Amino acid sequence: MKLSRLAVLVSSVLGLLSSGLAAGSLVSGPMLGYAAHREVFLWVETRDAKTVALDYWLAGQPEMKSTILQTDLETTPAGGQISHFQPGLLEVGATYEYALSIDGVPQALPFPATFRTKPLWEWRGPPPDFKFIYGSCAYFNEPAHDRPGPGYGKTLETFRLMGDSGADFMIWGGDNWYTRETDFDSVSGLWYRAQVTRVLPELRKLFAAMPHYATWDDHDYGSNDANKSYELKDESLKIFQAYWGNPSYGETGHPGVYTKFMWGDAAFILMDNRWSRDDDHLDATALKRMKTQYGEHQRDWLKQSLLNAQINEHCTFKFIVTGGQVITDFGGHSETFAYYPEEREDLLKFIIQHHITGVIILSGDVHFTELARKKITDTQWVYELTSSPLSSGVDARNITEHTADPHRIEGTFVDDQNFCQLSVTGPKNDRAVVITCTDKQGAVRFTKTIKASELK
């Protein structure tokens, strides 16, 4: 009897060891995507897995756990398996703990595994203070595929600092990875670049610490300065949808990565400046329509979104997120709205005519950071924060071309790797956005405050 029990025990242990050896592996993640009042998004990439399970429970109540099991996992052209978890009907304004298992094997994570749902404050109290991170241009060196010379990626320290910031969420403003010549001419190359970027250990805590939202620019869309003719843009969209956790992507019949969400008393409108983009150097005089970055449908969607936010009495600020700079009149080596003056004028005229208040533009691309502003009426300003680069090199050509920009606010120019944290704070009738720019050494380069009253 004792021998029989020992045999059963040994068999069980060998079975567990065998299943453990045969289990799939975690490639990268977890990453948090959008957060809503009763739902969140969680992302994981695995390899050779048969199942991936997410267990989650209200903090401190593991006996009440729920489980979502992913099976029949599809393999990407880069060999990974991407799982999207969207636990719903959660408690409002609550903190949850979670655990991941791959083929039944629990995964140890080097950071707290938690997520939070958004609180319900409307009609109940003042708008909550919150803070978020914004940045663009994240280049990660890979010498075998990079151009000859010193690596264009200059640091990974910015990502550690952001992961430790305690921010409520992050918005990635484009060029979130950089496709190389070995990538953007093939489907497998595009998938490879997304995977090899996400796997970096220096990004793990950041991706798990807060929700992430993203739009793209040319380098995570296709080749340098790519326009609407990019031949693999349908595949690029699939990859972006696979690797990011936005609440939506475009609309039925109108593809793209544009989306929007609310956080506290702010609306965030993320634009797609690539899918419908006319080339920067197209001669607009030959067109019978407006030369455009966004396309007619998305431009109308932006206007309708601004109007919808304006009539929302709980909305103080409207952040428009777009890949390239808007209010500057300089073009040159940066893809600014200076190449699309009619479309820019159309947007600013709409803001004026419809009395849209609280507008702040978030942009990137140019490989330096600055805060700029443009007076659009006798009493109203539109501000634009350009935050770049997170880790890429600095572009001296852009800096030289933009030296005399009259819209730049003195003391806000930063020509080093950096990120910006924006805190939305203050009593209901005196809200403000406090912008803090931090460089890769952790030094604060500038702090500026934009009062809501300036944007009315």
Residues 326, 411, single domain; the answer is yes
356 in a domain, yes or no? Answer: yes
pLDDT-derived band at 399 (thresholds 50, 70, 90) equals confident
Judge whether residue 6 has pLDDT over 60.
Answer: no
Looking at every residue in the chain, the average pLDDT score rounds to: 94
Read off the pLDDT of each residue in 77-89 and give the average, rounded to a whole number: 98
Residues 145, 252, single domain; the answer is yes
Residues 440, 320, single domain; the answer is yes
Residues 87, 197, single domain; the answer is no
Judge whether residue 452 has pLDDT over 50.
Answer: yes
Quick one: pLDDT at residue 193? 98
Asked whether 422 and 162 are in contact (CB, 8 A), the reply is no
Structure tokens at 323: 């890949």
How many domains is the chain partitioned into structurally?
A: 2
**Which of these three, 90, 116, 142, is where a domain ends?**
116
pLDDT-derived band at 330 (thresholds 50, 70, 90) equals confident
Residues 159, 60, single domain; the answer is no
| pLDDT single digits (tens) 160-210 | 999 999 999 999 999 999 999 999 999 999 999 999 999 999 999 999 999
1 in a domain, yes or no? Answer: no
**Which of these three, 116, 141, 162, is where a domain ends?**
116
CATH number assigned to the domain comprising residue 68: 2.60.40.10
| pLDDT single digits (tens) 122-137 | 999 999 999 999 999 9
Four-CA torsion 98, 101, 107, 109, nearest 10 degrees? -20
Task: Supply the range of the domain harboring residue 64.
Answer: 24-116
Residues 140, 229, single domain; the answer is yes
123 in a domain, yes or no? Answer: no
Quick one: pLDDT at residue 286? 82
Residues 337, 433, single domain; the answer is yes
Residues 344, 417, single domain; the answer is yes
12 in a domain, yes or no? Answer: no
Q: Each residue of 310-340: b (16+ CB within 10 Å) or e?
A: beeeebbbbbbbbbbbbbbebbebbbbbbbb
Residue 368 CB coordination number (10 Å): 22
| pLDDT single digits (tens) 209-259 | 999 999 999 999 999 999 999 999 999 999 999 999 999 999 999 999 999
Judge whether residue 11 has pLDDT over 60.
Answer: no
Four-CA torsion 244, 29, 18, 5, nearest 10 degrees? -110
Asked whether 162 and 440 are in contact (CB, 8 A), the reply is no
- C-alpha 135/C-alpha 420 separation (Å) is 6
Judge whether residue 14 has pLDDT over 70.
Answer: no
For 130-195, give the secondary structure using H, E and C: EEEEEECCCCCCCCCCCCCCCCCCCCCHHHHHHHCCCCCEEEECCCCCCCCCCCCCCHHHHHHHHH
| pLDDT single digits (tens) 48-63 | 999 999 999 999 999 9
Residues 289, 251, single domain; the answer is yes
Quick one: pLDDT at residue 398? 79
Quick one: pLDDT at residue 78? 98
In this prediction the pTM is 0.94
17 in a domain, yes or no? Answer: no
